[in-house]
Protein backbone atom coordinates (compact mmCIF):
# COMPACT_ATOMS: atom_id res chain seq x y z
CA UNK A 1 0.00 0.00 0.00
CA UNK A 2 1.31 3.44 -0.93
CA UNK A 3 1.95 5.82 1.96
CA UNK A 4 -0.46 8.35 0.45
CA UNK A 5 -3.26 5.76 0.33
CA UNK A 6 -2.49 4.78 3.90
CA UNK A 7 -2.64 8.43 4.92
CA UNK A 8 -5.99 8.99 3.23
CA UNK A 9 -7.47 5.83 4.82
CA UNK A 10 -6.15 6.97 8.19
CA UNK A 11 -7.61 10.47 7.77
CA UNK A 12 -10.95 8.99 6.84
CA UNK A 13 -10.96 6.55 9.77
CA UNK A 14 -9.90 9.24 12.20
CA UNK A 15 -12.60 11.65 11.08
CA UNK A 16 -15.37 9.01 10.91
CA UNK A 17 -14.50 7.19 14.13
CA UNK A 18 -13.00 9.87 16.33
CA UNK A 19 -15.67 9.11 18.93
CA UNK A 20 -14.31 5.61 19.25
CA UNK A 21 -10.76 6.88 19.86
CA UNK A 22 -12.14 9.33 22.38
CA UNK A 23 -14.06 6.68 24.31
CA UNK A 24 -11.13 4.29 24.58
CA UNK A 25 -8.73 7.07 25.54
CA UNK A 26 -11.04 8.36 28.24
CA UNK A 27 -11.69 4.91 29.65
CA UNK A 28 -8.01 4.02 29.99
CA UNK A 29 -6.14 7.25 30.66
CA UNK A 30 -6.94 9.39 33.66
CA UNK A 31 -4.95 12.58 33.32
CA UNK A 32 -5.02 14.88 30.34
CA UNK A 33 -1.36 14.27 29.69
CA UNK A 34 -1.93 10.52 29.66
CA UNK A 35 -4.94 10.92 27.42
CA UNK A 36 -2.85 12.75 24.82
CA UNK A 37 -0.12 10.16 25.18
CA UNK A 38 -2.50 7.24 24.74
CA UNK A 39 -4.24 8.93 21.84
CA UNK A 40 -0.90 9.26 20.05
CA UNK A 41 -0.12 5.61 20.78
CA UNK A 42 -3.46 4.37 19.49
CA UNK A 43 -3.30 6.58 16.42
CA UNK A 44 0.17 5.25 15.62
CA UNK A 45 -0.92 1.63 16.02
CA UNK A 46 -4.03 2.17 13.93
CA UNK A 47 -1.90 3.81 11.23
CA UNK A 48 0.47 0.82 11.22
CA UNK A 49 -2.41 -1.65 11.14
CA UNK A 50 -3.95 -0.21 7.96
CA UNK A 51 -2.00 -2.38 5.47
CA UNK A 52 -3.17 -5.46 7.42
CA UNK A 53 -6.86 -4.55 7.13
CA UNK A 54 -8.46 -6.91 4.57
CA UNK A 55 -12.06 -5.85 5.06
CA UNK A 56 -13.03 -9.17 6.72
CA UNK A 57 -14.52 -7.27 9.65
CA UNK A 58 -16.17 -3.88 9.98
CA UNK A 59 -13.82 -0.90 10.27
CA UNK A 60 -15.22 -0.12 13.71
CA UNK A 61 -14.43 -3.65 14.91
CA UNK A 62 -10.92 -3.42 13.51
CA UNK A 63 -10.22 -0.05 15.09
CA UNK A 64 -11.72 -1.13 18.39
CA UNK A 65 -9.56 -4.25 18.41
CA UNK A 66 -6.36 -2.28 17.76
CA UNK A 67 -7.34 0.53 20.13
CA UNK A 68 -8.28 -1.75 23.02
CA UNK A 69 -5.19 -3.93 22.70
CA UNK A 70 -3.04 -0.81 22.60
CA UNK A 71 -4.85 0.71 25.57
CA UNK A 72 -4.52 -2.46 27.67
CA UNK A 73 -0.80 -2.78 26.92
CA UNK A 74 -0.24 0.94 27.49
CA UNK A 75 -2.16 0.80 30.75
CA UNK A 76 -0.11 -2.15 32.04
CA UNK A 77 3.19 -0.52 31.12
CA UNK A 78 2.13 2.78 32.67
CA UNK A 79 1.05 1.07 35.88
CA UNK A 80 4.35 -0.79 36.17
CA UNK A 81 6.28 2.41 35.59
CA UNK A 82 4.31 4.35 38.12
CA UNK A 83 4.29 1.79 40.91
CA UNK A 84 5.97 3.35 43.94
CA UNK A 85 6.47 6.63 42.15
CA UNK A 86 4.66 9.90 42.43
CA UNK A 87 4.17 12.12 39.46
CA UNK A 88 6.37 15.20 39.65
CA UNK A 89 4.57 16.82 36.78
CA UNK A 90 2.20 19.17 38.50
CA UNK A 91 1.57 21.32 35.48
CA UNK A 92 -1.67 20.75 33.66
CA UNK A 93 -0.97 20.36 29.96
CA UNK A 94 -3.03 22.13 27.36
CA UNK A 95 -5.83 19.84 26.31
CA UNK A 96 -5.81 18.44 22.81
CA UNK A 97 -9.37 17.26 23.42
CA UNK A 98 -12.01 19.18 25.24
CA UNK A 99 -15.65 18.73 26.03
CA UNK A 100 -17.78 21.60 24.87
CA UNK A 101 -20.87 19.97 26.35
CA UNK A 102 -19.89 18.09 29.47
CA UNK A 103 -22.66 15.80 30.56
CA UNK A 104 -22.16 14.87 34.25
CA UNK A 105 -23.95 11.56 33.69
CA UNK A 106 -21.48 10.55 30.98
CA UNK A 107 -18.61 11.75 33.17
CA UNK A 108 -19.91 9.58 36.00
CA UNK A 109 -20.12 6.59 33.68
CA UNK A 110 -16.51 7.08 32.55
CA UNK A 111 -15.48 7.34 36.18
CA UNK A 112 -17.12 3.99 36.91
CA UNK A 113 -15.57 2.37 33.86
CA UNK A 114 -12.11 3.57 34.90
CA UNK A 115 -12.50 1.78 38.21
CA UNK A 116 -12.91 -1.59 36.49
CA UNK A 117 -10.04 -3.90 35.56
CA UNK A 118 -8.41 -3.36 32.16
CA UNK A 119 -10.20 -6.25 30.46
CA UNK A 120 -13.53 -5.33 32.04
CA UNK A 121 -13.12 -1.80 30.75
CA UNK A 122 -12.75 -3.18 27.22
CA UNK A 123 -15.80 -5.37 27.63
CA UNK A 124 -17.83 -2.46 28.98
CA UNK A 125 -16.91 -0.21 26.09
CA UNK A 126 -17.77 -2.90 23.56
CA UNK A 127 -21.01 -3.71 25.36
CA UNK A 128 -22.09 -0.07 25.48
CA UNK A 129 -21.21 0.36 21.82
CA UNK A 130 -23.45 -2.55 20.87
CA UNK A 131 -21.04 -5.35 19.99
CA UNK A 132 -22.26 -8.94 20.25
CA UNK A 133 -20.73 -11.46 22.66
CA UNK A 134 -19.28 -13.28 19.68
CA UNK A 135 -17.53 -10.16 18.41
CA UNK A 136 -16.25 -9.31 21.88
CA UNK A 137 -14.93 -12.83 22.34
CA UNK A 138 -13.13 -12.69 18.99
CA UNK A 139 -11.67 -9.28 19.69
CA UNK A 140 -10.38 -10.03 23.16
CA UNK A 141 -9.49 -13.70 22.69
CA UNK A 142 -12.04 -15.14 25.14
CA UNK A 143 -14.81 -17.68 24.92
CA UNK A 144 -18.36 -16.43 24.43
CA UNK A 145 -19.44 -18.03 27.71
CA UNK A 146 -16.71 -16.25 29.62
CA UNK A 147 -17.72 -12.96 27.98
CA UNK A 148 -21.34 -13.62 29.01
CA UNK A 149 -20.36 -14.23 32.63
CA UNK A 150 -18.17 -11.15 32.71
CA UNK A 151 -20.82 -8.97 31.11
CA UNK A 152 -23.43 -10.05 33.63
CA UNK A 153 -21.09 -9.14 36.47
CA UNK A 154 -20.27 -5.79 34.92
CA UNK A 155 -23.93 -4.96 34.35
CA UNK A 156 -24.74 -5.89 37.96
CA UNK A 157 -21.81 -3.83 39.24
CA UNK A 158 -22.71 -0.73 37.25
CA UNK A 159 -26.40 -0.83 38.07
CA UNK A 160 -25.70 -1.31 41.78
CA UNK A 161 -23.27 1.62 41.69
CA UNK A 162 -25.86 3.80 40.01
CA UNK A 163 -28.40 2.86 42.65
CA UNK A 164 -25.92 3.72 45.41
CA UNK A 165 -25.36 7.11 43.91
CA UNK A 166 -28.98 7.48 42.79
CA UNK A 167 -28.20 10.82 41.25
CA UNK A 168 -28.18 10.40 37.54
CA UNK A 169 -31.62 9.29 36.50
CA UNK A 170 -32.32 9.53 32.78
CA UNK B 1 -31.17 2.45 37.66
CA UNK B 2 -31.38 -0.25 35.01
CA UNK B 3 -28.57 -1.01 32.64
CA UNK B 4 -30.71 0.25 29.73
CA UNK B 5 -30.68 3.66 31.37
CA UNK B 6 -26.90 3.60 31.54
CA UNK B 7 -26.85 2.60 27.91
CA UNK B 8 -29.07 5.60 27.08
CA UNK B 9 -26.68 7.88 28.96
CA UNK B 10 -23.76 6.42 27.04
CA UNK B 11 -25.55 6.89 23.71
CA UNK B 12 -26.02 10.61 24.31
CA UNK B 13 -22.36 10.91 23.27
CA UNK B 14 -23.28 9.65 19.83
CA UNK B 15 -26.24 12.00 19.46
CA UNK B 16 -24.32 15.03 20.57
CA UNK B 17 -20.59 14.44 20.60
CA UNK B 18 -18.91 15.59 23.78
CA UNK B 19 -15.55 15.65 22.11
CA UNK B 20 -13.89 18.03 19.75
CA UNK B 21 -10.45 19.14 18.79
CA UNK B 22 -9.21 21.98 20.96
CA UNK B 23 -8.54 24.72 18.42
CA UNK B 24 -6.41 26.79 20.79
CA UNK B 25 -4.20 23.82 21.59
CA UNK B 26 -3.93 22.98 17.91
CA UNK B 27 -3.01 26.57 17.09
CA UNK B 28 -0.21 26.54 19.68
CA UNK B 29 1.04 23.15 18.48
CA UNK B 30 1.08 24.31 14.85
CA UNK B 31 2.78 27.57 15.81
CA UNK B 32 5.48 25.67 17.72
CA UNK B 33 6.00 23.36 14.77
CA UNK B 34 6.30 26.32 12.39
CA UNK B 35 8.78 28.01 14.74
CA UNK B 36 10.88 24.85 14.91
CA UNK B 37 10.72 24.60 11.15
CA UNK B 38 11.86 28.22 10.70
CA UNK B 39 14.73 27.81 13.15
CA UNK B 40 15.84 24.56 11.55
CA UNK B 41 15.71 26.11 8.10
CA UNK B 42 17.87 29.02 9.25
CA UNK B 43 20.38 26.75 11.00
CA UNK B 44 20.66 24.10 8.32
CA UNK B 45 20.42 26.20 5.18
CA UNK B 46 20.70 29.96 5.55
CA UNK B 47 23.34 30.07 8.30
CA UNK B 48 25.30 27.40 6.45
CA UNK B 49 25.17 29.37 3.20
CA UNK B 50 26.17 32.62 4.92
CA UNK B 51 29.09 30.89 6.64
CA UNK B 52 30.20 29.22 3.38
CA UNK B 53 30.00 32.56 1.56
CA UNK B 54 31.92 34.39 4.32
CA UNK B 55 34.62 31.73 4.50
CA UNK B 56 34.78 31.73 0.70
CA UNK B 57 35.15 35.51 0.57
CA UNK B 58 37.78 35.46 3.34
CA UNK B 59 39.67 32.71 1.50
CA UNK B 60 39.47 34.61 -1.77
CA UNK B 61 40.70 37.77 -0.04
CA UNK B 62 43.61 35.90 1.47
CA UNK B 63 44.65 34.34 -1.84
CA UNK B 64 44.15 37.67 -3.61
CA UNK B 65 46.44 39.55 -1.20
CA UNK B 66 49.01 36.76 -1.24
CA UNK B 67 49.02 36.86 -5.05
CA UNK B 68 49.16 40.66 -4.98
CA UNK B 69 52.14 40.64 -2.61
CA UNK B 70 53.82 38.04 -4.79
CA UNK B 71 53.21 40.23 -7.86
CA UNK B 72 54.71 43.26 -6.13
CA UNK B 73 57.79 41.32 -5.04
CA UNK B 74 58.04 39.15 -8.14
CA UNK B 75 61.48 40.43 -9.05
CA UNK B 76 62.81 39.69 -5.54
CA UNK B 77 61.35 36.22 -5.66
CA UNK B 78 62.88 35.69 -9.07
CA UNK B 79 60.55 32.95 -10.27
CA UNK B 80 56.84 32.36 -11.15
CA UNK B 81 54.68 35.08 -12.65
CA UNK B 82 52.67 38.13 -11.46
CA UNK B 83 48.89 38.55 -11.46
CA UNK B 84 47.36 39.25 -14.83
CA UNK B 85 44.18 41.16 -15.64
CA UNK B 86 42.49 37.76 -16.01
CA UNK B 87 43.40 36.90 -12.42
CA UNK B 88 41.81 40.12 -11.19
CA UNK B 89 38.73 39.25 -13.22
CA UNK B 90 38.68 35.71 -11.85
CA UNK B 91 38.82 36.98 -8.26
CA UNK B 92 36.04 39.45 -8.97
CA UNK B 93 33.87 36.82 -10.65
CA UNK B 94 34.45 34.31 -7.82
CA UNK B 95 33.50 36.92 -5.20
CA UNK B 96 30.52 37.94 -7.29
CA UNK B 97 29.42 34.30 -7.56
CA UNK B 98 29.48 33.92 -3.78
CA UNK B 99 27.47 37.10 -3.36
CA UNK B 100 25.04 36.03 -6.10
CA UNK B 101 24.58 32.72 -4.31
CA UNK B 102 23.64 34.34 -1.02
CA UNK B 103 21.85 37.61 -1.84
CA UNK B 104 18.70 36.18 -3.51
CA UNK B 105 18.35 33.73 -0.62
CA UNK B 106 18.77 36.52 1.91
CA UNK B 107 16.20 38.71 0.14
CA UNK B 108 13.69 35.85 -0.22
CA UNK B 109 14.04 34.99 3.46
CA UNK B 110 13.64 38.61 4.58
CA UNK B 111 10.50 38.97 2.49
CA UNK B 112 9.08 35.70 3.77
CA UNK B 113 9.95 36.36 7.42
CA UNK B 114 7.98 39.59 7.42
CA UNK B 115 4.73 37.61 7.47
CA UNK B 116 6.04 34.65 9.43
CA UNK B 117 7.37 36.45 12.49
CA UNK B 118 3.99 37.42 13.85
CA UNK B 119 1.88 35.04 15.93
CA UNK B 120 -1.22 34.12 13.92
CA UNK B 121 -4.42 35.40 15.55
CA UNK B 122 -6.57 32.47 14.43
CA UNK B 123 -6.26 28.79 13.63
CA UNK B 124 -7.08 29.45 9.98
CA UNK B 125 -4.30 32.03 9.69
CA UNK B 126 -1.90 29.72 11.48
CA UNK B 127 -2.74 26.98 8.98
CA UNK B 128 -2.24 29.46 6.11
CA UNK B 129 1.12 30.51 7.53
CA UNK B 130 2.13 26.89 8.02
CA UNK B 131 1.30 26.19 4.38
CA UNK B 132 3.12 29.33 3.27
CA UNK B 133 6.18 28.25 5.31
CA UNK B 134 6.15 24.86 3.61
CA UNK B 135 5.72 26.49 0.20
CA UNK B 136 8.73 28.68 0.96
CA UNK B 137 10.77 25.65 1.98
CA UNK B 138 9.68 23.77 -1.13
CA UNK B 139 10.55 26.83 -3.23
CA UNK B 140 14.05 26.88 -1.76
CA UNK B 141 14.43 23.27 -2.81
CA UNK B 142 13.06 23.87 -6.31
CA UNK B 143 15.22 22.76 -9.21
CA UNK B 144 16.02 26.29 -10.51
CA UNK B 145 16.98 27.47 -7.04
CA UNK B 146 19.17 24.45 -6.29
CA UNK B 147 20.72 24.70 -9.77
CA UNK B 148 21.45 28.38 -9.24
CA UNK B 149 23.14 27.80 -5.85
CA UNK B 150 25.05 24.85 -7.25
CA UNK B 151 26.08 26.85 -10.31
CA UNK B 152 27.35 29.89 -8.43
CA UNK B 153 29.15 27.72 -5.89
CA UNK B 154 30.81 25.72 -8.67
CA UNK B 155 32.03 28.90 -10.37
CA UNK B 156 33.38 30.28 -7.09
CA UNK B 157 35.14 27.05 -6.07
CA UNK B 158 36.63 26.39 -9.52
CA UNK B 159 37.99 29.92 -9.81
CA UNK B 160 39.28 29.85 -6.24
CA UNK B 161 41.15 26.60 -6.87
CA UNK B 162 42.41 27.93 -10.19
CA UNK B 163 43.86 31.00 -8.51
CA UNK B 164 45.36 28.94 -5.67
CA UNK B 165 47.05 26.83 -8.35
CA UNK B 166 48.39 29.90 -10.11
CA UNK B 167 49.56 31.41 -6.82
CA UNK B 168 51.63 28.26 -6.33
CA UNK B 169 53.31 28.71 -9.68
CA UNK B 170 51.19 26.49 -11.87
CA UNK B 171 50.48 28.58 -14.94
CA UNK B 172 47.39 26.61 -16.04
CA UNK B 173 46.24 24.34 -13.18
CA UNK B 174 43.67 22.37 -15.16
CA UNK B 175 44.06 19.32 -12.91
CA UNK B 176 42.57 21.23 -9.95
CA UNK B 177 39.67 22.35 -12.12
CA UNK B 178 38.89 18.79 -13.24
CA UNK B 179 39.18 17.51 -9.69
CA UNK B 180 36.81 20.20 -8.42
CA UNK B 181 34.35 19.53 -11.22
CA UNK B 182 34.49 15.80 -10.50
CA UNK B 183 33.78 16.38 -6.77
CA UNK B 184 30.85 18.66 -7.60
CA UNK B 185 29.34 16.28 -10.16
CA UNK B 186 29.81 13.34 -7.77
CA UNK B 187 27.97 15.32 -5.10
CA UNK B 188 24.98 15.93 -7.37
CA UNK B 189 23.37 12.54 -6.97
CA UNK B 190 23.32 12.51 -3.12
CA UNK B 191 22.08 16.12 -3.18
CA UNK B 192 19.19 15.19 -5.47
CA UNK B 193 18.35 12.14 -3.33
CA UNK B 194 18.23 14.30 -0.17
CA UNK B 195 16.15 16.91 -2.01
CA UNK B 196 13.64 14.25 -3.09
CA UNK B 197 13.30 12.91 0.46
CA UNK B 198 12.85 16.44 1.86
CA UNK B 199 10.29 17.27 -0.85
CA UNK B 200 8.22 14.18 -0.04
CA UNK B 201 8.20 14.97 3.68
CA UNK B 202 7.21 18.59 3.15
CA UNK B 203 4.54 17.70 0.60
CA UNK B 204 3.03 15.23 3.10
CA UNK B 205 3.02 17.92 5.80
CA UNK B 206 1.49 20.40 3.40
CA UNK B 207 -1.26 17.92 2.55
CA UNK B 208 -1.95 17.39 6.27
CA UNK B 209 -2.28 21.16 6.83
CA UNK B 210 -4.53 21.50 3.79
CA UNK B 211 -6.79 18.72 5.03
CA UNK B 212 -7.00 20.47 8.42
CA UNK B 213 -7.96 23.71 6.68
CA UNK B 214 -10.57 21.88 4.61
CA UNK B 215 -11.97 20.30 7.77
CA UNK B 216 -12.09 23.74 9.38
CA UNK B 217 -13.98 25.14 6.36
CA UNK B 218 -16.39 22.22 6.51
CA UNK B 219 -16.98 22.68 10.24
CA UNK B 220 -17.62 26.37 9.80
CA UNK B 221 -19.99 25.92 6.87
CA UNK B 222 -21.97 23.26 8.76
CA UNK B 223 -22.03 25.54 11.80
CA UNK B 224 -23.28 28.38 9.60
CA UNK B 225 -25.98 26.11 8.17
CA UNK B 226 -26.97 25.05 11.68
CA UNK B 227 -27.23 28.68 12.80
CA UNK B 228 -29.26 29.57 9.69
CA UNK B 229 -31.60 26.65 10.32
CA UNK B 230 -32.03 27.60 13.97
CA UNK B 231 -32.76 31.27 13.30
In order, the DSSP letters of A99-154 are -SS--HHHHHHHHHHHTS-HHHHHHHHHHHTT--HHHHHHHHT--HHHHHHHHHHH
Radius of gyration of chain A (CA): 17
Task: Give the mean model confidence (pLDDT) for residues B80-94.
Answer: 91
Among B1, B19, B22, the residue with its CB nearest the CB of A163 is B1
Determine the number of helices (DSSP H) and then strands (DSSP E) in chain A.
8, 1
pLDDT score of A8: 80
Q: C-alpha dihedral over A55, A59, A63, A69, to 10 degrees?
A: -50
Q: Does residue A154 contact residue A124 with C-beta atoms inside 8 Å?
A: yes
pLDDT score of B225: 55
Q: Which of A94, A112, A123 to mutate to test the interface with B (most CBs of B within 10 A)?
A: A94
A15 in reach of chain B (CB within 8 A): yes
Q: Closest-CA residue in chain A for B15?
A: A19
pLDDT score of B56: 94
How far the first Cα of chain A sits from its last, in Å, is: 47
Distance CA B101, CA B98 (A): 5
Percent of chain B with pLDDT over 70: 87
Contacts of residue B127, Cβ cutoff 8 Å, sequence gap at least 6: B30, B209, B212, B213, B216
pLDDT score of B220: 59
* Mean pLDDT, rounded, of chain B: 83
- The interface predicted TM-score (ipTM) is 0.76
* Helices B143-167/B188-230 angle, 10° precision: 150
Q: What is the pLDDT of residues B45-73, one digit of tens each?
A: 899 999 999 999 999 999 999 999 998 88
Q: What is the pLDDT of residues A42-90, one digit of tens each?
A: 888 888 888 888 887 888 889 999 999 999 888 888 776 665 444 433 3
Q: C-alpha dihedral over A148, A152, A153, A156, to 10 degrees?
A: 170
Q: Which residues of chain A have pLDDT under 50?
A: 84-96, 169-170
Q: Which chain B residues have a beta carbon less than 8 Å from that of A11?
A: 211
Q: Which chain A residues have a beta carbon less than 8 Å from that of B20?
A: 97-100
pLDDT band at B22 (very low <50, low <70, confident <90, very high): low
Q: What is the pLDDT of residues B178-220, one digit of tens each?
A: 888 888 888 888 888 887 888 887 887 888 788 778 777 776 5
pLDDT score of A166: 64
Shortest distance, CA B143 to any CA of chain A (angstroms) = 23
Which B residues, 157 through 216, put their C-beta within 8 Å of a C-beta on chain A?
Answer: 204, 207-208, 211, 215
Shortest distance, CA B10 to any CA of chain A (angstroms) = 6
Q: Residue A103 and residue B2: Cβ atoms within 8 Å?
A: no
Full DSSP string of A52-79:
G--SSS-HHHHHHHHHHHHHHHHHHHHH
Determine the number of helices (DSSP H) and then strands (DSSP E) in chain B.
9, 1
Q: Which chain A residues have a beta carbon less than 8 Å from that of B16?
A: 101
pLDDT score of B55: 95
| CA angle in degrees (0–180, nearest 5) for B3-B5-B9 | 115
Strand partners, B21: A97
pLDDT score of A85: 47
A92 in reach of chain B (CB within 8 A): no
Query: Which letter, b or e, does each residue of A121-140 get, where b requires 16 or more Cβ atoms within 10 Å of its Cβ?
Result: bbbbbbbbbebebebbbbbb
Q: Which of B108, B107, B89, B109 is nearest to B97 (CA)?
A: B89
Q: Which chain B residues have a beta carbon less than 8 Å from that of A109?
A: 6, 9-10
Which B residues, 26 through 65, put their C-beta within 8 Å of a C-beta on chain A?
Answer: 26, 28-29
- What region, left, alpha or beta, does residue A166 occupy, with left being phi > 0 and alpha being psi -120 to 50 degrees? left
Inform me whether the pLDDT recorded for B95 exceeds 90: yes
Q: Residue A109 and residue B211: Cβ atoms within 8 Å?
A: no
A110 in reach of chain B (CB within 8 A): no
DSSP annotation of B43? I
* Other CB atoms within 10 A of residue A42 CB: 24
B2 in reach of chain A (CB within 8 A): yes
Q: Residue B18 and residue A15: Cβ atoms within 8 Å?
A: no
Distances (CA, A) of B51 to A39, B56, B100: 43, 8, 14
Inform me whether the pLDDT recorded for B17 exceeds 60: no
Query: Which letter, b or e, does each residue of A12-28 get, where b requires 16 or more Cβ atoms within 10 Å of its Cβ?
Result: ebeeebbebbbbbbbbb
Q: Residue A95 and residue B22: Cβ atoms within 8 Å?
A: yes
Among B9, B20, B215, the residue with its CB nearest the CB of A106 is B9
Q: Which of B11, B16, B19, B219 to mutate to test the interface with A (most CBs of A within 10 A)?
A: B19
Among A11, A19, A155, the residue with its CB nearest the CB of B3 is A155
Least confident of A45-49, A118-122, B3-7, B12-16: B12-16
Among A23, A98, A106, the residue with its CB nearest the CB of B12 is A106
Q: What is the pLDDT of residues B108-133, one digit of tens each?
A: 999 888 877 766 777 788 888 888 88
pLDDT band at B18 (very low <50, low <70, confident <90, very high): very low
Amino acid sequence: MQQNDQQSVFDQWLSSHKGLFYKVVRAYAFTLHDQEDLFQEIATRVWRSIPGFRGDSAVTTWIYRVALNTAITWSQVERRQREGKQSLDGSAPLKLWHSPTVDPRVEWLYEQIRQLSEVDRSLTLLLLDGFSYKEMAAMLGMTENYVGVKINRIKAHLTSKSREENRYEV
Amino acid sequence: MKFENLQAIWDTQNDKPVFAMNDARLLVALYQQRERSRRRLFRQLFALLYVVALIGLAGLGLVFFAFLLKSIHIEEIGRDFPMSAWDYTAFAVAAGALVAMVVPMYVARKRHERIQEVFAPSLREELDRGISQLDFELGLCSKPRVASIYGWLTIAVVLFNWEVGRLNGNYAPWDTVWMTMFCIVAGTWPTLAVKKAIDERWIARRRALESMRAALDEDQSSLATEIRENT
